Amino acid sequence: MAGLTVTNISLASETDWPGFRNEARALLAKLIAPAEVAWHTPASGAADLFSDSDVSPTSPLVAAHSHGPINLVVPSSFVTLCETVILHNDPARFGLLYSLLWRLVHEPALRHDPLDAGRVKVQHMAQSVRRDMHKMKAFVRFRTVESGEGKPPLHVAWFEPDHHIVEAVAPFFMRRFTQMEWAILTPERSVHWDGERLHFGPGGERRHAPAPDAGEALWLTYYANIFNPARLKMAMMKKEMPVKYWHNLPEAELISGLAADAMARSGRMVEAAPTQPARRIVPVASETAPRVSNAPHEGVAGPEDVGRGVFAELTVAIHPAQALTALKKATDRCRECPIGEHATQSVFGEGPVHAALMVVGEQPGDQEDLRGRPFVGPAGRLFDQAIAQLGWPREQLYVTNAVKHFKFELRGKRRIHKTPTQREASACLHWLESEIEQVQPHALIALGATAAKALLGRPVAVTRERGQWHDGPRGRKVLVTLHPSALLRGDPAEHEQAYKAWLDDLALATDWLKHAV
Ligand code: URA
């Protein structure tokens, strides 16, 4: 810039939008042309070399100028554009934006020329920033770091954005993972959510991010299972999931293997007989179902049946206990329906990994929500009383719910149970299915209509169908009976009789416990 007086502007950070806006206003007011301005950020570090700057970096001038008033009104879309483009990694972005601003003020026709090279260039830059933000939202993968006894785990992710987008994207993760404590490390910036506030700090290195965990193994299993070879379009996939992100995406390790085998597997899929549509828990036809009363183990689907089919060879081995732990953590974050947003925590199933009998309730109640354990409130106490009378040790049962979060409405300070809607129960069903898949119970008890519908895949009239075994997931028998809350709510004059009838229903499952391994 020989022959020109250069005005040096130092901004507070790479993304100092308020600083840029104020300085640009001041420069315009002083009629300082774009060619006379040099923009600096702490990272570019050159501002001190020009200490004869005639504009203070920290005291923007908004004063009127002796050359007369200046029209500083620009379209609001331009302001939005600037806010985005400022996040671009091009060091020339401030100069480009100031130059456009200058021209908008001094060349009114520019507003009507969308094909102007300067306008097109910054539009492309904004597009690149938006794409980077979208990719960060899609491709951040958290890994869990245990923080020590009694403390919630920290979830850490490593990501390499192209632009200065960490501050801009962090609120998205805050809203999405409010309940978790998490951190995202990038080479330039880091952000940490402690459950209450976002903290921004300097960048890190990839080696600071944790190694793969059980949750990741589960995700890989899921990814391998949902991968549909018949729909593989490699070019499209690379467009959506650019190769440059692959080294940070655990599932990318599977892609080449899955893709290599895709043709052969598509062929097998075409030749294979049609499968049962819709529900993932497929009831087995009654003629192949086990006889319940005398021989609990006969005909029950064994582990070899699980994952049978074209995807079986892709399943990544993971111990059921690890899988259940990972599932439990994942339910906490689940927001597939609105219930989770208001609950204290998710309440996952509890019991031995290979319990012979799984008991399924509706959803956690107030006490369960607070304590994070199923059936520990009033309904749970009635259930405990019943099983004690039947001689069933609770520690031999796997006890869970169809819906994993507590749905309630506030009446004053009291949280009153609300029945989940069909849509909410359906959104939650896959968690229960995954639990069944891991525990492999020989039989299940459905307590109430919500559990019965989840297990049988159809509406169930509990009063009519109670005390009977029905065909449930993968040939497992499902005993339908009342929910203990129904007994608690019922007519006190009939309590004793109703309780006795309920015990009679439950007693039908005693054989399964006797045969427990
Ligand atoms: N009701 C349920 O269905 N489940 C619980 O865990 C508690 C009450």
270 pLDDT tier (thresholds 50, 70, 90): low
Q: Is 296 in the pocket of ligand 1 (CB under 6 A)?
A: no
- Rounded Cα distance, 408 and 420, in Å: 9
| Higher per-residue confidence, 155 vs 65 | 155
Q: Ligand 1 centroid vs 481 CA: distance in angstroms?
A: 14
Instruction: Give the pLDDT of residue 146.
Output: 77
User: How close is the Cα of 418 to the center of ligand 1, in Å?
Assistant: 12
Ligand 1: which of 483, 488, 489 to mutate, judged by most atoms within 8 Å of the beta carbon? 483
Residue 401 near ligand 1, beta carbon < 6 Å: yes
Residue 109 · residue 184 · CB < 8 Å = no
- Which string of b and e fits 314-350 if b means at least 16 CB within 10 Å? beeebebebbbbbbbbbbbbbeebebbeebbbbbbbb
- How confident is residue 72, by pLDDT bands cut at 50, 70 and 90? low
Phi, then psi, of 199 in degrees rounded to 5: -120, 130
Nearest atom, ligand 1, residue 361 CA: 3
- Tell which wins on pLDDT, 495 or 212: 495
- For ligand 1, say whether the CB of 379 is within 6 Å of any of its atoms: yes
Query: Could you tell me what percent of the chain has a pLDDT over 70?
Result: 75
1-10, 149-158, 170-179, 305-314: which has the minimum mean pLDDT?
305-314
Q: How confident is the model at residue 480 (pLDDT cuts 50, 70, 90)?
A: very high
How many Å apart are CA 124 and CA 499, to the nearest integer? Answer: 70
* Beta carbons of 421 and 429 less than 8 angstroms apart: no
Q: How confident is the model at residue 241 (pLDDT cuts 50, 70, 90)?
A: confident
Q: Measure 364 CA to ligand 1 centroid, in angstroms.
A: 4
Separation of CA 456 and ligand 1 centre (Å): 19
> Are 191 and 198 spatial neighbours (Cβ–Cβ below 8 Å)?
yes
pLDDT at residue 47 in the model: 39
Three-state DSSP class for residue 144: strand
Mean residue pLDDT of the chain comes to 81
State mean pLDDT over 91-111: 91
Looking at beta carbons, which pairs linking 21-24 to residues 24 or more positions away fall under 8 Å? Answer: 21/82, 22/60, 22/62, 23/55, 23/57, 23/60, 24/97, 24/98, 24/101
Res 216: pLDDT: 60
pLDDT tens-digit readout, 328-361: 988 988 888 999 989 999 999 999 999 999 999 9
State in Å: Cα 107 to ligand 1 middle. Answer: 69
Cα 336 to averaged position of ligand 1 atoms, centre (Å)? 20
Ligand 1 atom at minimum distance from 485 CA = 1
What is the C-alpha to C-alpha distance for residues 446 and 349, in angstroms, rounded to an integer? 14
Average pLDDT over residues 390-418: 94
Gap between the Cα atoms of 206 and 188, Å rounded? 11
Indicate if ligand 1 lies below 6 Å from the C-beta of 380. Answer: yes
